[in-house]
Chain A
């Protein structure tokens, strides 16, 4: 089971370490993790996606809640949540029509094109992990030279 956990913490050093250490020492998995300062700079928001059975996920939320540095821990309901991830793909350009075709694919899912070179281009997509996976499959035939993704953030 996949779960999105949103954690509001005090914005001070060392907390990211403690949260990730908790996952390690309790034998939980981190699928992705994002952190950023909130509109009130006293707080940061961490969004962690994790995989486990129901009992494990309930335990993760309880253990995170028990941490003194966490102010609020919520398990987000996928259906009622906007959750997105940003990904960059560096795609190989071999033939002359590649660029046009990739542009078409990008347009259909709202991806942006950056840094077009003679033999490669970078595409940026903000979407759900499933949408990203679908896009990745569609561009795979061209050849993916490199990629980087931010992990899921959610509200």
Chain B
């Protein structure tokens, strides 16, 4: 027991959780905790907008699998965080967001910079705490980290009134905490897994659908072993992209709205799917009713509430998917199971795959999306971490950028938050300074958080921004071309700003690449540089993302390039 103020109790509690840095921006209501941050060993990384602090913490959390921490003040500081918190919730990313709040006695009086952030954030946090005394802080921090990183991860909010940061009290730091209503992992029922195996082995046209949960629980080796042992082809959701090496002979890539043609085609033919860590998002499955027609589903997920939410499963395996797959693997080894490589289904799958890989029409021109992204894959080291913004470039990345090393690709897939990729790449680089980190960006999305260039340069966190620039809000433009008879409105970004000059004005490196040779050189320059590099890559604004499964239609109705 020690006497200290709430701010110091917070810093000590964060240090005990192993926090090395926080992403944040100070203001009136969190000054006392910043004063204690000043005295602590925790690094502060200053952002230029709180949304970016949340995305940085999110990127850090997804890569390190430990909650990233972000700080913001009360009122607008906290509401600016919300988009980032909601993004982390939609993609199950571990995060602890810590906001200042007006003093306890002022709560409810519409004080200056007061916002009911506990109420506002309720639907988009895994849990929220508001300590009313300094003594409560250590326990809430410990519970918060535990909740954020266990089971299905997610963001936790800690909203600390200013006087609670300032006041002194006798503080103790608990070694353990009890949360009676929280059961992050269910014990796995082996009979469910036996039923899953029987169903899988009795099916004629099986497939594995790997979702984001496969990446969160890093079940890469288990997934690969099972796929290879049973010789079952693997598709992924977009969030599950890169849970299975995309150059693997059994890989078909992502399904869904902008899935690979071969993946969507095969998905409509299968009779049984082993779905791992996925919530069957509408973007992945098209229409729920059509997807599950004539299909037996084995659903593995850590979250029992996902079972039966969007799709009806014949067999449900609730629990950590890595642990479930391990049990499945053991049972398969016991059965001494080895499927012959000469199976008709796999032969057919490969024919479909070969056909679409050879015959999918490409957009003309040297700098088409496919060509620039394949060039990037060729030049970028396989272990690099890649984030994306949100828009056409993101879907082109899904189609044309193969992830080889599992768990190196991250995107805002659930909430689809423009502006996520660049700050997230900075957070990722903090988590993994030893590997190159690159953000596949579109200029519309990059615009939203481009002022993070200041953070990246001044805090010496170099990343590469691969800016696919079509001078427009490209995805909206594509929908207006496709569904609104080219009545184009609100999409023209013109050539503004000049991204080379923008980068340079922040002290970063700006390079324009107008040919594949220039692009290769630019990527190499970025990789060998110790400062952030923005590569501006002008492309044809008329290029669409194809194939395309229109919203509200099934995977069968995929629109192909004509």
The residues of A with any CB-CB pair to B shorter than 8 Å are: 9-10, 14, 17-18, 21, 25, 55, 58-59, 62-63, 65-71
Q: Let me know if A65 and B304 touch, CB within 8 A.
A: yes
Question: Chain A: which residue is nearest B118 at the CB level?
Answer: A14
CB pairs A–B below 8 angstroms (22 shown): A10-B180, A10-B181, A17-B119, A21-B122, A21-B123, A25-B123, A55-B308, A58-B308, A59-B305, A59-B308, A59-B309, A62-B309, A63-B305, A65-B304, A66-B303, A66-B305, A68-B127, A68-B147, A68-B179, A68-B182, A71-B180, A71-B181
Among A25, A59, A67, which residue has its beta carbon within 8 angstroms of that of B181?
Answer: A67
Known: A21-B123, A71-B180. Contact between A66 and B304, CB under 8 A? yes
Question: Chain B: which residue is nearest A58 at the CB level?
Answer: B308
Question: Chain B: which residue is nearest A9 at the CB level?
Answer: B181
Question: What 0/1 readout, one digit per residue, does chain B (307-343) give for beta carbons within 8 Å of chain A?
Answer: 1110000000000000000000000000000000000
Q: What's the Cα separation between A21 and B116 when bound, in Å? A: 15
Chain B interfacial residues counted at CB < 8 A: 17
Q: Scan residues 177-206 of chain B and give those whose CB is less than 8 A from a CB of chain A.
A: 179-182
Contacts of A66 in B (CB 8 A): 303-305
Q: How far is the CB of A109 from chain B (nearest CB, A)?
A: 39
Q: What's the Cα separation between A58 and B118 when bound, in Å? A: 28
* Residue among A9, A21, A66 with most chain B CB within 10 A: A66
Question: What 0/1 readout, one digit per residue, does chain B (117-133) give for beta carbons within 8 Å of chain A?
Answer: 01100110011000000
Question: Chain B: which residue is nearest A21 at the CB level?
Answer: B122
Q: How far is the CB of B95 from chain A (nearest CB, A)?
A: 16
Q: How far is the CB of B180 from chain A (nearest CB, A)?
A: 6
Q: What's the Cα separation between A21 and B120 when bound, in Å? A: 11
Q: What's the Cα separation between A124 and B304 when bound, in Å? A: 43
Q: What's the Cα separation between A102 and B533 when bound, in Å? A: 85
Contacts of B147 in A (CB 8 A): 68
* Residue among B127, B304, B305, B309 with most chain A CB within 10 A: B305
Q: Let me know if B305 and A62 touch, CB within 8 A.
A: yes
Contacts of B308 in A (CB 8 A): 55, 58-59, 62
Q: What's the Cα separation between A154 and B385 when bound, in Å? A: 54
Q: How far is the CB of A152 from chain B (nearest CB, A)?
A: 23
Contacts of A63 in B (CB 8 A): 305
Question: Chain A: which residue is nearest B182 at the CB level?
Answer: A68
Q: How far is the CB of A66 from chain B (nearest CB, A)?
A: 5
Please provide the 8 A-B residue pairs with the shortest distance between their CB atoms, ordered closest to farther: A62-B305, A68-B182, A25-B123, A71-B181, A66-B305, A68-B181, A68-B127, A70-B181
Question: Chain B: which residue is nearest A71 at the CB level?
Answer: B181
Q: How far is the CB of B391 from chain A (nearest CB, A)?
A: 27
Contacts of A25 in B (CB 8 A): 123
Among A14, A17, A65, A68, which residue has its beta carbon within 8 angstroms of that of B305?
Answer: A65
Contacts of A70 in B (CB 8 A): 181
Q: What's the Cα separation between A66 and B307 when bound, in Å? A: 12
With A17-B122, A68-B147, A68-B182 given, name 20 new contacts (CB 8 A). A9-B181, A14-B118, A17-B119, A18-B122, A25-B123, A58-B308, A59-B308, A62-B304, A62-B305, A62-B307, A62-B309, A63-B305, A65-B305, A66-B303, A66-B304, A66-B305, A68-B126, A68-B127, A68-B181, A70-B181
Q: How far is the CB of A13 from chain B (nearest CB, A)?
A: 10
Q: How far is the CB of A137 from chain B (nearest CB, A)?
A: 39
Question: What 0/1 readout, one digit per residue, does chain B (132-160) give for beta carbons within 8 Å of chain A?
Answer: 00000000000000010000000000000
Question: Chain A: which residue is nearest B184 at the CB level?
Answer: A68
Q: What's the Cα separation between A65 and B151 when bound, in Å? A: 14
Q: What's the Cα separation between A63 and B309 when bound, in Å? A: 10
Contacts of B182 in A (CB 8 A): 68
Q: How far is the CB of B497 from chain A (nearest CB, A)?
A: 38
Q: What's the Cα separation between A65 and B303 when bound, in Å? A: 11
Question: Chain A: which residue is nearest B127 at the CB level?
Answer: A68
Q: What's the Cα separation between A55 and B292 when bound, in Å? A: 15
Contacts of B118 in A (CB 8 A): 14
Contacts of A68 in B (CB 8 A): 126-127, 147, 179, 181-182
Q: How far is the CB of A111 from chain B (nearest CB, A)?
A: 39
Q: What's the Cα separation between A69 and B128 when bound, in Å? A: 11
Q: What's the Cα separation between A62 and B305 when bound, in Å? A: 5
Q: How far is the CB of B108 from chain A (nearest CB, A)?
A: 12
Q: How far is the CB of A3 from chain B (nearest CB, A)?
A: 16
Question: Chain A: which residue is nearest B126 at the CB level?
Answer: A68
Contacts of A58 in B (CB 8 A): 308
Question: Chain B: which residue is nearest A42 at the CB level?
Answer: B180
Q: How far is the CB of A88 from chain B (nearest CB, A)?
A: 32
Q: What's the Cα separation between A69 and B179 when bound, in Å? A: 9
* Residue among B180, B181, B309 with most chain A CB within 10 A: B181
Question: Chain A: which residue is nearest B130 at the CB level?
Answer: A14
Q: How far is the CB of B247 from chain A (nearest CB, A)?
A: 38
Contacts of A55 in B (CB 8 A): 308
Contacts of B309 in A (CB 8 A): 59, 62
Contacts of B122 in A (CB 8 A): 17-18, 21
Q: What's the Cα separation between A65 and B309 when bound, in Å? A: 14
Contacts of A21 in B (CB 8 A): 122-123
Q: What's the Cα separation between A66 and B185 when bound, in Å? A: 11
Contacts of A69 in B (CB 8 A): 181
Question: Chain A: which residue is nearest B312 at the CB level?
Answer: A55
Contacts of B181 in A (CB 8 A): 9-10, 67-71
Q: What's the Cα separation between A95 and B517 when bound, in Å? A: 99
Contacts of B126 in A (CB 8 A): 68
Q: Scan residues 217-239 of chain B and give those whose CB is less than 8 A from a CB of chain A.
A: none
Q: What's the Cα separation between A106 and B127 when bound, in Å? A: 49
Q: What's the Cα separation between A62 and B304 when bound, in Å? A: 7
Question: Chain A: which residue is nearest B310 at the CB level?
Answer: A59
Contacts of B305 in A (CB 8 A): 59, 62-63, 65-66
Question: Chain B: which residue is nearest A63 at the CB level?
Answer: B305
Question: Chain B: which residue is nearest A66 at the CB level?
Answer: B305
Q: What's the Cα separation between A59 and B305 when bound, in Å? A: 7
Q: Scan residues 86-121 of chain B and give those whose CB is less than 8 A from a CB of chain A.
A: 118-119
Q: What's the Cα separation between A108 and B129 when bound, in Å? A: 52
Question: Chain A: which residue is nearest B303 at the CB level?
Answer: A66
Q: What's the Cα separation between A103 and B308 when bound, in Å? A: 51
Question: Chain B: which residue is nearest A18 at the CB level?
Answer: B122
Q: What's the Cα separation between A63 and B123 when bound, in Å? A: 12
Q: What's the Cα separation between A67 and B125 when bound, in Å? A: 11
Q: How far is the CB of A26 from chain B (nearest CB, A)?
A: 9
